């Protein structure tokens, strides 16, 4: 098979893994080798679906002994199969990297023969890149479920990030769609790697030359919309994994139908992109805005509001917290105002040391006033006669958004 065909098949099979982050690496180019890490990562291109292309994301092979219903490479699926040789992956990675196409390699694989056999091959590739080719670019390596602890730990010495996908947010969903797999198989390697990271970090405090070990941390992926989970199920699971295994990221992947299986949404049904977006927004609120997941979702509200973003939704449910005075409120509360992001919040806290801030200055700083103005007070705030109810605010913001996004003029009748 020609290398072009192989690349086509094995890129096609790998693309449903959404992680393409190349940030968090700390590798420097030592001794005139090739490559280094960029602290914030670099997206070298964007596909027509608007997703970032940072890494050469491929499977080593799409042969697989498992039959997970949601996976395009499941053994019962009638598709073309291919496998790279070790040297082919090395050559592709280096030649793409030298032309500044990519930040590095994202290597995953279907499981052929056995988990250990597969993991060993992956290990061979990353080892060769690091030791023989002196490649210091980014490597994201998938952990193969069921691989031995020794192989997983050794891989950690060469990879910048390791990940293993939970896929279904609940054990029940997994039992239904991938009965050969279990959440435990995912938790075990996450735990090994996490413990090694913690241990090496402690050693680093007292010793100088401790080897790098998964410097960009671990991540996992949850498939959204393949089974019946609520947003609460998904985000509570994510929250637990962030806590238990110190994950850097949880990815949410709107399920794209690849099977006629009656247990799954049919081929052609659109992926739940808006829901996916709201999940990411909530994930951000948990990681960067100081929200607890229980503040955003609970038994009374198991699903996120799709019409408005989760921060606005939270603010409207807690009118007693607002309005706040931007010139005196603490950073924590400013972050909670809809329409104010981390960047603007930091600017506000810095800039107000030099004088009181007014609305026009906030706008220039980058605050989205169409949302924020309902929740803040400035010296030039208009005093209203009566309180506006949360529902009125919601309607107001929604209709302003509708005006902005529909270019057609309203008709009279």
Partner 1 sequence: MEIYVFDGSLVGLLSAVFTFYERKSAVVKLMREDDYQPDLLGGKVEVHSDHGKAARVWKGLVKHIGMEGLNRFYAAFLGEDAAGYQCLFDLSRYVFERGGDVMEDFGNAHVLFVSQLARKVHREKHRMEAFVRFQKMADGLFAATMEPDYNVLPLIRKHFTDRYADQRWLIYDRRRKYGLYYNGDCTEEVAVELAERVEKGDGVSLPQNLLAADEVLYQRLWKGYFNHTNIPARKNTQLHIRHIPKRYWRYLTEKFDLHL
Q: Where along the sequence are the contacts to partner 1 (CB under 8 A)?
A: 3-4, 7-8, 11-12, 14-16, 28-29, 32-36, 38, 42-53, 56-57, 92, 95-96, 98-101, 134, 254, 256, 270-271, 273, 347, 350-355, 357, 361, 364-365
CA atoms of 126 and 373, how far apart (whole Å): 52
Judged by beta carbon, residue 101 or residue 117, the one nearer partner 1 is 101
Judged by beta carbon, residue 257 or residue 390, the one nearer partner 1 is 257
Give least dist CB 137 to partner 1, A: 8
Sign of CA dihedral 365, 291, 191, 183: negative
Give least dist CB 246 to partner 1, A: 28
Give least dist CB 372 to partner 1, A: 16
Instruction: Tally Cβ neighbours within 10 Å of residue 393.
Output: 20
| Tokens, residue 316 | 């409207």
CA atoms of 222 and 253, how far apart (whole Å): 6
CA atoms of 287 and 248, how far apart (whole Å): 10
Give least dist CB 37 to partner 1, A: 9
Judged by beta carbon, residue 256 or residue 285, the one nearer partner 1 is 256
DSSP class of 230: -
Task: Specify which residues 283 forms β-bridges with.
Answer: none
Give least dist CB 77 to partner 1, A: 17
Please, which residues have CB within 8 angstroms of residue 89's CB and are 6 or more apart in sequence?
58, 60, 105, 107, 125
Judged by beta carbon, residue 4 or residue 292, the one nearer partner 1 is 4
Judged by beta carbon, residue 355 or residue 385, the one nearer partner 1 is 355
Task: Specify which residues 57 forms β-bridges with.
Answer: 106
Judged by beta carbon, residue 50 or residue 184, the one nearer partner 1 is 50
Instruction: Answer for the pair 60, 254: CB distance below 8 angstroms, yes or no.
Output: no
Judged by beta carbon, residue 93 or residue 143, the one nearer partner 1 is 93
Please, which residues have CB within 8 angstroms of residue 297's CB and are 6 or more apart in sequence?
231, 232, 235, 236, 282, 303, 304
| Tokens, residue 313 | 């939704």
Give least dist CB 9 to partner 1, A: 8
Instruction: Tally Cβ neighbours within 10 Å of residue 37.
Output: 23
Judged by beta carbon, residue 29 or residue 381, the one nearer partner 1 is 29
Cis preceding linkage at 323, omega within 30: yes
Give least dist CB 114 to partner 1, A: 28
Q: Among 102, 105, 98, which residue's Cα sits nearest to residue 122?
A: 105
Judged by beta carbon, residue 88 or residue 116, the one nearer partner 1 is 88
Instruction: Answer for the pair 228, 174: CB distance below 8 angstroms, yes or no.
Output: no
Give least dist CB 107 to partner 1, A: 14
| Tokens, residue 99 | 């032309």
Give least dist CB 163 to partner 1, A: 17
CA atoms of 31 and 37, how far apart (whole Å): 15
């Amino acid at each position: 098979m020609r290398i072009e065909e192989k690349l086509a098949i094995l890129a096609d099979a790998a693309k449903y893994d959404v992680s393409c982050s190349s940030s968090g690496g700390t590798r420097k180019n030592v001794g005139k080798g090739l490559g280094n890490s960029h602290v914030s990562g670099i997206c070298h291109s964007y596909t027509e679906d608007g997703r970032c292309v940072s890494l050469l994301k491929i499977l080593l092979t799409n042969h697989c002994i498992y039959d997970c219903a949601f996976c395009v490479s499941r053994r019962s699926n009638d598709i073309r199969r291919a496998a790279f040789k070790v040297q082919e992956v090395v050559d592709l990675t280096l030649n793409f990297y030298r032309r500044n196409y990519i930040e590095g390699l994202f290597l995953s694989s279907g499981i052929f023969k056995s988990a250990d056999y597969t993991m060993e091959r992956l290990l061979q590739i990353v080892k060769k890149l690091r030791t023989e080719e002196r490649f210091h670019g980014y490597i994201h390596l998938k952990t193969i479920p069921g691989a031995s602890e020794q192989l997983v730990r050794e891989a950690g010495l060469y990879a910048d990030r390791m990940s293993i996908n939970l896929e279904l947010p609940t054990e029940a969903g997994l039992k239904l769609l991938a009965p050969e797999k279990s959440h435990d198989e995912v938790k075990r390697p996450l735990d090994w790697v996490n413990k090694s990271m913690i241990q090496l970090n402690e050693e680093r405090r007292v010793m100088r030359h401790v080897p790098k070990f998964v410097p960009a941390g671990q991540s996992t992926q949850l498939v959204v919309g393949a089974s019946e989970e609520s947003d609460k199920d998904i985000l509570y699971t994510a929250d637990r994994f962030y806590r238990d295994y110190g994950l850097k990221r949880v990815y949410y992947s709107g399920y794209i139908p690849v099977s006629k299986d009656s247990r799954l949404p049919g081929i052609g049904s659109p992926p739940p992109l808006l829901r996916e977006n709201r999940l990411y927004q909530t994930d951000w609120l948990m990681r960067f805005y100081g929200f607890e997941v229980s503040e955003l979702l609970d038994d009374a509200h198991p699903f996120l509001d799709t019409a408005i973003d989760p921060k606005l939704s939270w603010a409207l449910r807690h009118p007693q917290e607002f309005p706040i005075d931007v010139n005196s409120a603490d950073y924590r509360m400013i972050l909670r105002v809809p329409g104010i992001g981390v960047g603007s919040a930091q600017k506000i806290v810095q800039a107000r040391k030099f004088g009181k801030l007014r609305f026009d200055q906030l706008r220039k700083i980058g605050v989205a006033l169409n949302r924020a103005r309902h929740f803040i007070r400035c010296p030039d705030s208009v005093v209203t006669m009566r309180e506006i109810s949360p529902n009125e605010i919601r309607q107001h913001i929604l209709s302003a958004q509708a005006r902005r996004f529909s270019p057609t003029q309203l008709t009279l009748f």
